[in-house]
Structure 1
Amino acid sequence: MLSGKLLWWDKIDQNGLIQDFAGNRYYFDSSTVDSDTLKILNKEIILYFELNTLISNTPCAISVSHIPKDHSILSNMNAKPLTIANKGN
């Protein structure tokens, strides 16, 4: 299962775009979203999803659902990256 941030959601056309944490983008529409998630789609949400392998020309998401705010994956995303100082030789 993949995860990523909702970049945008069009309420009229019922489609949107998810970006995973490697920067890959996936299109999806309301038919691929569970009903609870569909009610709360906004730019602040992090989503679980699967890659739709039936569509080959554009990366698309299926089985889209929200990640609860208290889930451990969200705290890992907020962790600061480790930086290594170059001390020279």
Structure 2
Amino acid sequence: MMIAKVKFNSNKKENTDPFAEIIIKPAISKHTDIISKDFHYGLFILGTEKHESRRIDNQLRGRAGRQGDPGVSVFLVALDDLIMQKM
């Protein structure tokens, strides 16, 4: 089973949620089920490198969610990054 989160436009006036979860089932079932979900994750921060100062990383993480707003932050670090070689 494959799941995708897709933003869509609808001409229906009663539709207030701009996101849907689309579930694609194996070939036995030839139709696609659409289930409306609430996907309000806010700002997504993707860090591709760690800074030497943890304070800078925490400040970047804090940008994702401010004053109760939702937010997500993820840092991707490779073993050959300079910060990992210093450890």
Same fold (TM over 0.5): no
Q: Bigger relative contact order, structure 1 or 2, given CA contacts below 8 A and separation 6+?
A: 1
| Structure with the higher fraction of residues in strand conformation | 1
TM-score (norm 2): 0.31
TM-score (norm 1): 0.30
